């Protein structure tokens, strides 16, 4: 992992002033231990006209894996083949950003006791990164660096020069040039934007990352046109942290526009009265979306197919419009737990008459399921082996034929947003598959066409602009002529 910073000069302002700014003598090669390997700083060239400082980060893959255990996707990103086989030792990433802040900490803060006049003086700078992951391509690299005063060259790296037809990889060779920036500003830009382009971090993103982002982004992030993307990616899409950072950046922007202090603007509520509401769990959002779909359908008699431990049945029982509720599951143990949850042995006779728990398999037709207004398959289909899915399809849509069917399933594209989910793994050990949005829509559309239904789709949970929502919902409604015939 390699990065160079170059500058030019003359007799009045020699290029070797770079050594003072970086606090690293041009005549020495130095090494620094990090948590994941060794950082080397040396100067390939150093004279009055031109000086180049190089940072070489030698990653220890074993240390990276050991220290990353238990940290999910952030602990070992891009490890589809194995946790030891990835691009971390070779491509600039959050590892290099952390090394920059550690090795050049004084330079990043703009501190130079030997020459206090140097840090505030803009100077010609050229930064080169031979291999930089760029999720978003060269265009995104330009959108991130150009507004900060850099002339940007982002050359795509071919997947294999021997096979040009394979196209480009997600890596670029980056060259940044500017005559108007200080070295401290340049280092802060790199510290924030390298992991943003890589879109992965090798460590757990804790709340103190917000403070790090605001410190490094002081003076430029609040007004950056890609502020939202930078904030979201830097904080690994942890929504509560992103919201906190966005609010702080907006206060900074308003304070700058009003030529006042942040404290003068952020004084509407006393600090001790401020409370932050906890995000609603995805399971609760999913149940609310299902209930809304059932209410819109006008259903009164509802099947919960694959009811598990009865959470949805319990929610349905609280709404008087649902006059008959049947929970079906193949697991007798799950049904026993559901019965305890619903307190079937203690609730009143009227309530008990509305609900029934039955054991059965969706791989077979079941006459007990015919004649209902609606059926729900909530997080069920992904637990079946794909060859058995047609049997479920016929049992529900072909044989039972409720007027409305609501199906929810995970969106596998969203899995990259879970900090605790290792790359390439599904959300639950019993999931036989997880579908993309396109795959789910294709399956649902084909099912609807085969069995005389119309189908619509809606997201469940926060919808990410790049990968969609965490859960996808399809609502099937039987066509009118089919409903009449039934």
What separation in angstroms does the CA of 277 have from each of 240, 280, 281, 286, 396?
A: 10, 9, 12, 19, 40
pLDDT score recorded for residue 81 = 43
Distance (Å, whole) CA 169 – CA 269: 50
pLDDT score recorded for residue 42 = 95
Q: Which two tokens stand for residue 326?
A: 């049947």
Q: How far apart are the first and last CA of the chain?
A: 67
pLDDT tens digits, residue range 325-369?
A: 999 999 988 899 999 999 888 888 888 899 999 999 999 999 999
Closest CA to 412 of 387, 379, 437: 437
pLDDT score recorded for residue 287 = 95
- Give me the average pLDDT of each 10-residue run along the chain (486 residues): 90 92 91 82 94 89 56 40 58 80 90 89 93 89 94 91 88 93 94 87 72 89 90 85 81 56 46 56 92 95 94 94 95 90 86 92 94 96 93 96 96 79 66 93 96 96 89 93 58
Cβ-Cβ contacts under 8 Å for 183 (sequence gap 6 or more): 5, 7, 18, 21, 22, 107, 119, 123, 125
pLDDT tens digits, residue range 97-110?
A: 888 888 998 999 99
Q: Which two tokens stand for residue 225?
A: 């046109």
Phi (first) and psi of residue 456, to 5 degrees? -130, 160
pLDDT score recorded for residue 76 = 39
Q: Would you put residue 401 in left (φ > 0), alpha (ψ -120 to 50) or beta?
A: left
The β-bridge partners of 453 are 478
- Rounded (10°) angle between helices 94-103 and 183-198: 160
pLDDT score recorded for residue 200 = 72
Closest CA to 378 of 291, 478, 299, 437: 291
Would you say 248 and 214 are in contact if contact means Cβ atoms under 8 Å apart? yes
Q: Which two tokens stand for residue 406?
A: 């609501």
pLDDT score recorded for residue 2 = 86
């Amino acid at each position: 992992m390699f990065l160079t910073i170059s500058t030019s000069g003359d007799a009045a302002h020699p290029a070797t002033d770079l050594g003072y700014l970086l606090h690293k003598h041009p005549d020495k090669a130095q090494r620094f231990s990090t948590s994941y390997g060794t950082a080397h700083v040396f100067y390939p060239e150093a004279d009055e006209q031109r000086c180049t400082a190089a940072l070489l980060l030698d990653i220890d893959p074993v240390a990276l894996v050991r220290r990353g255990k238990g940290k999910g996707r952030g602990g070992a990103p891009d490890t589809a083949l194995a946790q030891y086989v990835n691009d971390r030792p070779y491509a600039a990433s959050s590892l290099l950003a952390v090394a920059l802040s550690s090795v050049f900490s004084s330079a990043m803060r703009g501190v130079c006791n030997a020459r206090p006049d140097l840090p505030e003086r803009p100077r010609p700078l050229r930064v080169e990164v031979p291999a930089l992951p760029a999720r978003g391509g060269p265009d995104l690299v330009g959108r991130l660096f150009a507004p900060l005063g850099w002339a940007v060259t982002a050359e795509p790296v071919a997947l294999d020069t021997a096979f040009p037809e394979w196209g480009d990889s997600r890596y670029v060779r980056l060259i940044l040039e500017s005559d108007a920036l200080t070295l401290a500003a340049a280092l802060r830009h790199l510290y924030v934007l390298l992991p943003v382009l890589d879109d992965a971090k090798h460590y757990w993103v804790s709340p103190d990352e917000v403070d790090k982002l605001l410190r490094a982004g002081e003076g430029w992030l609040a007004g950056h046109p890609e502020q939202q993307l930078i904030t979201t990616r830097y904080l690994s899409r942890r929504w509560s942290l992103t919201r906190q950072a966005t609010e702080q950046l907006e206060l900074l922007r308003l304070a700058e526009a009003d030529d006042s202090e942040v404290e003068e603007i952020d004084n509407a509520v006393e600090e001790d009265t401020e409370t932050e509401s906890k995000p609603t769990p995805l399971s609760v959002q999913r149940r609310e979306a299902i209930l809304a779909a059932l209410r819109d359908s006008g259903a009164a008699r509802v099947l919960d197919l694959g009811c598990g431990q009865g959470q949805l049945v319990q929610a349905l029982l609280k709404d008087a419009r649902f006059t008959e509720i049947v929970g079906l599951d193949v697991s007798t143990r799950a049904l026993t737990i559901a019965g305890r949850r619903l307190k079937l042995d203690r609730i009143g006779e009227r309530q008990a008459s509305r609900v029934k728990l039955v054991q059965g398999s969706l791989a077979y037709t079941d006459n007990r399921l015919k004649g209902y207004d609606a059926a729900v398959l909530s997080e069920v289909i992904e637990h079946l082996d794909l060859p058995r899915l047609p049997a479920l399809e016929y049992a529900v849509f072909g044989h039972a034929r409720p007027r409305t069917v609501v199906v929810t399933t995970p969106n596998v594209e969203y899995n990259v947003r879970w900090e605790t989910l290792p790359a390439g793994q599904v959300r639950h050990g019993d999931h036989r598959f997880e579908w993309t949005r396109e795959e789910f829509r294709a399956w649902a559309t084909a099912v609807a066409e085969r069995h005389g239904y119309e189908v619509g789709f809606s997201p469940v949970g926060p919808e990410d602009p790049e990968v969609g929502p965490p859960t996808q919902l399809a609502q099937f409604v039987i066509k009118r002529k089919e409903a009449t015939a039934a």
